[in-house]
């Protein structure tokens, strides 16, 4: 396709000094370090408490910075306790992956339409999409549950995946990104070359959207992974996702925080992995600069 | 290359959706006499081994045990499914506090009356789950008979008796005695006597037959002199310096166990585990076999069979078995849930139970006696918990956050009660 | 490469469209609607139905368990608007929203600018700011409870040492709002930073080069180049932050053990009030639904206001649809992403991941 050579022109931006002629100084790195410490502390804290034991936690309000070393033991307790740990990990993976892929695809599809295609009602429909984010969702729990019950989906993963397959946030985000990141002439060029609408989308819009799509995918994945209340209501502890089963570690009147936070830490680890994968995508160049250059 | 990635992505999505179908929870049996029963509980009921036992004895029955971490989650879950009309388990565990509401909808629950459970439980426990037209909607599981837990070491340091029988006498049998003992303690010690005005009020109001509503359900909370009197009494005790001003279950309250937060506390059976956990490595807790006002109960659960259930008879049979005295004693041994069945309260295993953390106190015997001492079943109509919440907040404003005077806080209480109407 | 061919009939003169041409035209006309339809179909199921259902509920006396009662028209609405608690909730919501929203947006802008530079180990730093978002609300709740506890908390211990004295984080109104805003900012600032960063990365370097040659220093570049080019993104962030911020639920709910917003409702937000009305002792679904609708209308209104304010911040007004020339030359006038913002009666999304989507966490 004629757009292919243009696409290939995009590469990683060459590593060079800042426009202003100097490398970022130590102030920059200092700020970043402070921010990183603040950001990482909650995760580290949950690791600290997860490596401790109930007695120590009860005694010392501020944990020492050095982990105590019980983490493996607590992790084993988490996995062997009655909470269907591995089932819930599998469920969470399925739900989060499918949801993220689906949201990215459908949001980009819709975003491309709103951003680059002209059709009647485009403006009002986009506003409508944005407005749909505005309603408080507490009450929709009951009607949604009724719908799921009628469909026979309570206790099944569909009930959690399907409502989240495309989001207003995703559509809005991709619309906004593609408006400025995808030059109209690229689309035109593809159409002139005879591409159908869908091929245009597939070969032109999707690549252009890659950084934003990676971001959206990452956010969606994390959001889906950490979501609790709806999976709890509709799946329950019979077929749980990870946050639901981790919450079960709180069962009993006395809460053993070393166990609970060991579970929380374990639940966060897969997300770190996803970070690293998606992070590469986010750093890998942007089309815009190459086209305009 | 791009095509390959996107093809993979599409396959993953399709595969995932397919897997989603596979990962669903097990469905009903195929009608060949096999039955799958679902059982929903929360916290720890101690049923894990019992379930295995039942399934072994009844090969055609499979039991799926669904647990919620806290009773609040379980309650939200249950309410949502009641509202939606489907999705409840065959057996749903409930807490006694939910009953005032649920008793208004007796048609949502199966009548569990049967000869095999006649005289099984303490009478006041049965009464809680009986509707106005005599339907029994719940089988009792555990109860929370209250005693007083105290710090023997702090008592000793204040020159007061510390042996539990002597302390029982020292604490007396009325609330006046309790507060008087508190004053004696505070004269010699810096440690507050009680956690908060709210926790004592909670214990007091459970001993009044019609505190907030009369038997027709009419709200009398704001005019009932008893309520005002209890309100003033606990706040006076707070003013006298007896209260630590710690809202129960708050972070400060949890930490206070390690910092000599308070010297005594109202102690239902299930609180023992909490004290032991929060007060890890703290030595000195003991249990006194007394309770101001005679007897009191806080909490307790039941097993219900929702009318939605497709197997009401089998569910009823399972619930009957689970709440039989023998099984409840086993649950007690597993997780400390205190039995509500008369026969269980006489069982040797129960009466011999002691707790090393509490100075080897014979907690089984103490709490069994406390359970028998309960005489009053407070009437709890549909507005009860709303009014009680408003009262706890009113007390908190004065005792915990100290943002209002007692009089101003009472006025806000009155407004809040009106708003519930 | 697909070429235009005729199918079936013998080649005709130009005016008669071939099948292929007709298909192509249909393709152009239908495709947009087809592409946006997945969202709207799903929305009809998980958004529109709950919304209409909620409206229906709000017109009746409706107990959560008991079900539909008698029709009361606007009775629920008038009741709710008369409750002082509703107005307290509104006050708290706006206060927390301002404290958190403004801080987050400004902080994220600054942080994104720092991250936009050519630093080593980019992925590491950039992903690092997102870490708070990854941690489960349980852990965040535990940590901040321990930090903000009135008697046994970290902050008050430090304040005591420094001589300022303890602050009533759970007793007084403004401190409680600051504490909750801190929790919210903690969780979401990294998220917003990455959004800004992605947009900043899309700004072509040539524009900066041009500004540099004109003699603009780094700070000047930031205000005269970055911010205007970021306008659509800033609008996007402000709108989503408004919508999400006015629905704040999780963080204030876990701020204390009762989840009611304090014994004097110091930090009770409107969504907490909805939950209390519907699931609390009252189980008054009708009133909860009425508050939901009122909140919805307020959010639309405030969203509009915010949109109009933010629009003025950057330099020029831009045409709504992107004229190809303007985009191609890469000049500063970026078309407004959000197009014309008219109010509609929109609806709810399902429980989908999004910014501050009010996960009803317990």
In A, minimum Cα distance to C272 occurs at: A138
Tokens at A96, concatenated = 């989060």
Q: What is the pLDDT of residue A14?
A: 46
Strands B91-95 and C60-63: unpaired
Tokens at C246, concatenated = 């006015």
Query: Taking a C-beta distance cutoff of 8 angstroms, is the pair C249, C362 a contact?
Result: no
Chain C residue numbers with beta carbons less than 8 Å from the beta carbon of B72 are: 362
Nearest CA to B79 among B111, B95, B102? B102
| Contacts for B217 with CB less than 8 Å, ≥ 6 apart | B381, B382, B383
Q: What is the pLDDT of residue B9?
A: 56
The highest-confidence range among B294-298, B315-319, C320-324, by mean pLDDT, is B315-319
* Residue pairs spanning A and C at CB distance below 8 A: 399
Chain A neighbours, 3+ Cβ pairs < 8 A? B, C
Q: What is the pLDDT of residue A255?
A: 80
Chain C residue numbers with beta carbons less than 8 Å from the beta carbon of A133 are: 240, 243-244, 346, 349, 354
Choosing among 3.40.640.10, 1.10.10.10, 3.40.710.10, 3.40.190.10, the CATH entry for B9-144+299-368 is 3.40.190.10
In B, minimum Cα distance to C170 occurs at: B401
Helices C137-148 and A257-283 meet at what angle, rounded to 10?
Answer: 110
Nearest CA to A202 among A5, A3, A8, A9? A3
* Residue pairs spanning B and C at CB distance below 8 A: 88
| Contacts for B278 with CB less than 8 Å, ≥ 6 apart | A58, A254, B254, B257, B258
- Please state, rounded to an integer, the average pLDDT across all residues of chain B: 89
Q: What is the pLDDT of residue C314?
A: 53
In B, minimum Cα distance to C168 occurs at: B401
Does C275 contact A62 at a Cβ distance shorter than 8 Å? no
Q: What is the DSSP letter of C266?
A: T
* Cα radius of gyration (chain C): 26
B400 to chain C nearest CA, in Å?
A: 8
E strand or H helix at B300, and its extent? strand B297-304
Digit-coded pLDDT (tens) for B166-225: 999 999 999 999 999 999 999 999 999 999 999 999 999 999 999 999 988 899 999 999
In B, minimum Cα distance to A138 occurs at: B80
CA angle centred on C328, ends C327 and C333, rounded to 5°: 30
- At C197 the three-state DSSP class reads helix
To probe the interface with A, which of B20, B40, B268 has the most A CB atoms within 10 Å? B20
Greater model confidence, B36 or A122: B36
Q: What is the DSSP letter of B47?
A: -
Strands B35-42 and B91-95: parallel
Does B250 contact C256 at a Cβ distance shorter than 8 Å? yes
Q: Which of residues 239-258 of A touch B (CB under 8 A)?
A: 239, 247-256
Q: Please, what sign has the CA dihedral across residues C209, C211, C212, C213?
A: positive
Q: What is the pLDDT of residue B262?
A: 95
Does B24 contact A59 at a Cβ distance shorter than 8 Å? no
The highest-confidence range among B78-92, B187-201, C17-31, by mean pLDDT, is B187-201
Greater model confidence, A194 or C87: C87
Does C280 contact B386 at a Cβ distance shorter than 8 Å? yes
Task: Give CA–CA dist B28/A178, Å, rounded.
Answer: 49
Tracing tokens 């006015």 back to the chain, one arrives at: C246
Q: Which of residues 247-276 of B touch A (CB under 8 A)?
A: 254-255, 257-258, 270-271, 273-274, 276
Share above pLDDT 70 across residues of chain B, in percent, rounded to a whole number = 92
Tokens at C306, concatenated = 């915010």
Q: What parts of chain A have a pLDDT lower than 70?
A: 1-22, 61-62, 135-136, 280-293
Q: What is the rounded average pLDDT of the residues B346-365?
A: 92
Query: Taking a C-beta distance cutoff of 8 angstroms, is the pair C291, C275 a contact?
Result: no
Task: Give CA–CA dist B116/B250, Å, rounded.
Answer: 43
Q: What is the pLDDT of residue C15?
A: 67
Task: Give CA–CA dist B367/C132, Å, rounded.
Answer: 46
Task: Give CA–CA dist B350/B269, Å, rounded.
Answer: 12
Residue C341 has pLDDT above 50, yes or no: no
| Contacts for A247 with CB less than 8 Å, ≥ 6 apart | A228, A232, B69, B73, C138, C362
Q: What is the rounded average pLDDT of the residues B56-72?
A: 90
Does A90 contact B48 at a Cβ distance shorter than 8 Å? no
Helical residues (DSSP H) of B23-163, grouped into ranges: 48-57, 71-84, 99-102, 123-128, 152-157
Digit-coded pLDDT (tens) for B238-248: 999 999 999 99
Residue C231 has pLDDT above 80, yes or no: yes
Residue B252 touches partner C, C-beta closer than 8 Å: yes
- At B15 the three-state DSSP class reads helix
* Cα radius of gyration (chain A): 23
Residue B403 touches partner C, C-beta closer than 8 Å: yes
Q: What is the pLDDT of residue C177?
A: 95
* Per-residue burial over C288-301, b = 16 or more CB atoms within 10 Å of its CB, e = otherwise: bbbbbbbbbebbbe
Q: Please, what sign has the CA dihedral across residues B72, B73, B76, B78?
A: negative
Long-range contact list for B413-421, CB < 8 A, 24+ apart? B413/B222, B414/B222, B415/C84, B416/B390, B417/B219, B417/B221, B417/B222, B417/B386, B417/B387, B417/B390, B418/B222, B419/C83, B419/C85, B420/B219, B420/B383, B420/B386, B420/B387, B420/B390, B420/C281, B420/C282, B421/B219
Helices A168-181 and C231-245 meet at what angle, rounded to 10?
Answer: 170
Tokens at C225, concatenated = 């180049």
CATH homologous superfamily for the domain B145-297+376-419: Periplasmic binding protein-like II (3.40.190.10)
Residue B143 has pLDDT above 90, yes or no: yes
Chain C residue numbers with beta carbons less than 8 Å from the beta carbon of A124 are: 342, 344
Q: What is the pLDDT of residue A20?
A: 53
Helices C84-115 and C270-279 meet at what angle, rounded to 10?
Answer: 130
Q: What is the DSSP letter of C48?
A: I
Q: Which of residues 5-24 of A touch B (CB under 8 A)?
A: none
B99 to chain C nearest CA, in Å?
A: 12
Task: Give CA–CA dist A134/C169, Å, rounded.
Answer: 30
- Please state, rounded to an integer, the average pLDDT across all residues of chain C: 78
Tracing tokens 């789950």 back to the chain, one arrives at: B129
Tracing tokens 């006309």 back to the chain, one arrives at: C29
Task: Give CA–CA dist B145/B336, Å, rounded.
Answer: 13
Digit-coded pLDDT (tens) for C239-266: 888 888 998 888 888 888 888 889 899 9
A204 to chain B nearest CA, in Å?
A: 12
- At B287 the three-state DSSP class reads strand
Task: Give CA–CA dist C251/C254, Å, rounded.
Answer: 6
Does A98 contact B20 at a Cβ distance shorter than 8 Å? yes
Q: What is the dihedral of CA B324, B325, B329, B332, to 10 degrees?
A: 70
C38 to chain A nearest CA, in Å?
A: 7
Residue B265 has pLDDT above 50, yes or no: yes
CA angle centred on A291, ends A285 and B3, rounded to 5°: 60
Does C29 contact A246 at a Cβ distance shorter than 8 Å? no
Q: What is the DSSP letter of A140?
A: G
Query: Taking a C-beta distance cutoff of 8 angstroms, is the pair A139, A181 a contact?
Result: no
Strands B297-304 and B264-268: unpaired
Tokens at B60, concatenated = 């055609």
Chain C residue numbers with beta carbons less than 8 Å from the beta carbon of A45 are: 139, 143
Task: Give CA–CA dist B388/A105, Å, rounded.
Answer: 51
Chain C residue numbers with beta carbons less than 8 Å from the beta carbon of A36 are: 125, 128-129
Task: Give CA–CA dist C263/C259, Å, rounded.
Answer: 10
Q: What is the pLDDT of residue B104?
A: 86
In chain B, CATH 3.40.190.10 sits at 9-144+299-368, 145-297+376-419
Residue B1 has pLDDT above 70, yes or no: no
Q: What is the rounded average pLDDT of the residues B25-39?
A: 68
Chain B residue numbers with beta carbons less than 8 Å from the beta carbon of A233 are: 76-77, 80
Strands (E), B20-158: 35-42, 61-68, 91-95, 139-151
Nearest CA to A176 among C226, C338, C192, C191? C338
Q: What is the pLDDT of residue B308?
A: 92
Residue B97 touches partner C, C-beta closer than 8 Å: no
B320 to chain A nearest CA, in Å?
A: 23
Helical residues (DSSP H) of chain A, grouped into ranges: 3-8, 26-50, 54-59, 71-80, 85-116, 122-131, 141-151, 158-161, 168-181, 184-192, 197-200, 206-208, 210-226, 229-234, 242-247, 257-283, 287-292
B105 to chain A nearest CA, in Å?
A: 19
Tracing tokens 């950057």 back to the chain, one arrives at: C314
A239 to chain C nearest CA, in Å?
A: 18
In A, minimum Cα distance to B79 occurs at: A142
Q: What is the rounded average pLDDT of the residues C11-36?
A: 77
């Amino acid at each position: 396709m004629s757009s292919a050579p243009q696409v290939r022109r995009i590469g990683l931006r060459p590593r060079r000094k800042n426009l202003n002629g100097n490398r970022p100084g130590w102030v920059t790195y200092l700020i970043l370090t402070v921010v990183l410490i603040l950001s990482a502390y909650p995760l580290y804290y949950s690791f600290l408490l997860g490596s401790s034991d109930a007695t120590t936690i009860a005694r010392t309000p501020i944990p020492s910075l050095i982990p105590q070393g019980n983490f493996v033991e607590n992790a084993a307790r988490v996995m062997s306790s009655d909470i269907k740990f591995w089932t819930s990990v599998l469920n969470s993976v399925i739900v989060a992956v499918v949801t993220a892929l689906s949201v990215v695809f459908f949001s980009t599809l819709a975003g491309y339409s709103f951003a680059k295609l002209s059709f009647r009602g485009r403006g009002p429909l986009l506003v409508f999409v944005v407005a749909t984010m505005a309603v408080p969702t507490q009450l929709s729990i009951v009607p949604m549950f009724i719908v799921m019950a009628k469909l026979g989906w309570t206790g099944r993963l569909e009930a959690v995946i399907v409502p989240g397959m495309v989001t207003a946030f995703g559509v809005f985000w991709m619309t906004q990104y593609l408006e400025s990141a995808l030059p109209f002439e690229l689309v035109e060029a593809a159409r002139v070359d005879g591409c159908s609408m869908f091929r245009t989308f597939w070969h032109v819009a999707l690549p252009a959207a890659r950084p934003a799509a990676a971001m959206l995918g990452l956010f969606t994945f994390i959001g889906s992974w950490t979501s609790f209340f709806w999976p709890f209501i509709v799946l329950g502890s019979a077929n749980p996702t990870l946050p639901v089963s981790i919450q079960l570690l709180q069962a009993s009147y006395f809460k053993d925080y070393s166990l609970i936070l060991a579970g929380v830490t374990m639940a966060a680890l897969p997300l770190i992995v996803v970070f690293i994968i998606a992070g590469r995508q986010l750093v890998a160049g942007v089309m815009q600069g190459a086209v305009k250059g | 290359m791009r095509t390959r990635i996107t093809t993979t992505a599409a396959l993953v999505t399709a595969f995932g959706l397919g897997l989603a179908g596979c990962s669903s929870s097990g469905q009903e049996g195929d009608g060949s006499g096999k039955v799958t029963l679902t059982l929903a509980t929360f916290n720890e009921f101690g049923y894990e081994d019992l379930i295995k036992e039942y399934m072994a004895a009844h090969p055609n029955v499979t039991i799926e045990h669904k647990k919620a971490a806290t009773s609040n989650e379980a309650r939200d879950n249950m309410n949502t499914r009641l509202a939606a009309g489907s999705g409840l388990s065959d057996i749903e565990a409930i807490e006694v506090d939910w009953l005032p509401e649920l008793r208004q909808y007796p048609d949502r629950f199966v009548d569990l009356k049967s000869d095999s459970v006649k005289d099984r439980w303490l009478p006041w426990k049965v009464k809680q789950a009986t509707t106005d037209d005599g339907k029994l909607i719940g089988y009792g599981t555990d109860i929370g008979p209250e005693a007083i837990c105290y710090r023997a070491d702090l008592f000793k340091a204040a020159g007061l008796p510390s042996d539990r029988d002597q302390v029982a006498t020292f604490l007396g049998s009325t609330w006046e005695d309790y507060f008087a003992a508190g004053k004696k303690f505070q004269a010699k010690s810096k440690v507050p006597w009680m956690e908060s005005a709210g926790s004592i009020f909670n214990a007091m109001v459970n001993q009044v037959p019609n505190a907030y509503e009369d038997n027709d359900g009419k709200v009398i909370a704001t005019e009932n002199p008893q309520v005002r009197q209890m309100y003033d009494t606990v706040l006076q005790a707070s003013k006298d310096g007896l209260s630590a001003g710690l809202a129960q279950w708050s972070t400060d309250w949890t930490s206070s166990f390690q910092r000599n937060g308070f010297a005594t506390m109202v102690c239902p059976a299930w609180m023992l585990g909490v004290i032991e956990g929060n007060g890890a490595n703290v030595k000195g807790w003991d249990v006194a076999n007394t309770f101001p006002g005679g007897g009191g109960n806080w909490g307790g659960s039941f097993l219900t069979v929702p009318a939605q259930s497709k197997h009401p008879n089998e569910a009823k049979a399972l619930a009957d078995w689970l709440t039989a005295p023998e099984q409840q004693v086993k649950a007690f041994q597993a997780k400390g849930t205190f039995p509500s069945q008369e026969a269980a309260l006489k069982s040797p295993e129960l009466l011999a139970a002691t707790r090393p953390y509490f100075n080897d106190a014979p907690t089984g015997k103490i709490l069994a006696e406390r359970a028998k001492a309960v005489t009053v079943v407070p009437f709890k109509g549909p507005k009860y918990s709303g009014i009680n919440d408003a009262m706890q907040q009113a007390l908190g404003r004065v005792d915990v956050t100290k943002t209002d005077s007692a009089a101003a806080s009472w006025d806000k209480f009155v407004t809040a009660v009106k708003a519930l109407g | 490469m697909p070429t235009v061919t005729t199918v079936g009939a013998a080649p005709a003169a130009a005016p008669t469209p071939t099948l292929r041409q007709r298909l192509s035209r249909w393709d152009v006309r239908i495709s947009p609607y087809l592409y946006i339809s997945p969202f709207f179909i799903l929305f009809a199921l998980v958004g529109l139905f709950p919304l209409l259902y909620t409206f229906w509920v709000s017109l009746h006396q409706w107990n959560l368990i008991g079900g539909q009662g008698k029709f009361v028209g606007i009775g629920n609405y008038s009741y709710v608007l008369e409750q002082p608690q509703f107005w307290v909730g509104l006050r708290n919501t706006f206060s927390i929203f301002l404290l958190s929203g403004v801080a987050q947006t400004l902080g994220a802008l600054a942080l994104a600018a720092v991250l936009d530079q050519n630093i080593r180990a980019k992925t590491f730093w950039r992903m690092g700011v997102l870490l708070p978002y990854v941690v489960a609300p349980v852990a965040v709740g535990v940590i901040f409870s321990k930090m903000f506890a009135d008697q046994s908390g970290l902050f008050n211990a430090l304040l005591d040492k420094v001589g300022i004295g303890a602050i009533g984080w759970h007793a007084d109104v403004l401190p409680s709002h600051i504490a909750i805003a801190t929790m919210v900012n903690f969780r979401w600032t990294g998220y917003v930073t990455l959004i800004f960063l992605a947009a900043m990365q899309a700004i072509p370097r040539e524009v900066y080069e041009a500004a540099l040659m004109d003699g603009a220093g780094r700070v000047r570049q930031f205000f005269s180049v970055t911010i205007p080019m970021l306008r659509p993104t800033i609008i996007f962030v402000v709108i989503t932050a408004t919508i999400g911020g006015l629905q704040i639920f999780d963080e204030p709910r876990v701020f204390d053990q009762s989840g009611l917003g304090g014994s004097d409702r110091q930090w009770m937000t409107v969504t907490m009030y909805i939950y209390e009305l519907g699931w609390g002792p009252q189980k008054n679904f009708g009133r909860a639904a009425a508050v939901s609708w009122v909140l919805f209308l307020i959010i639309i209104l405030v969203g509009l206001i915010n949109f109009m304010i933010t629009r003025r911040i950057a330099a020029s007004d831009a045409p709504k649809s992107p004229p190809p020339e303007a985009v191609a030359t890469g000049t500063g006038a970026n078309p407004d992403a959000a197009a014309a913002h008219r109010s509609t009666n929109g609806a709810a999304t399902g429980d989908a991941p999004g910014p501050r989507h009010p996960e009803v966490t317990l």
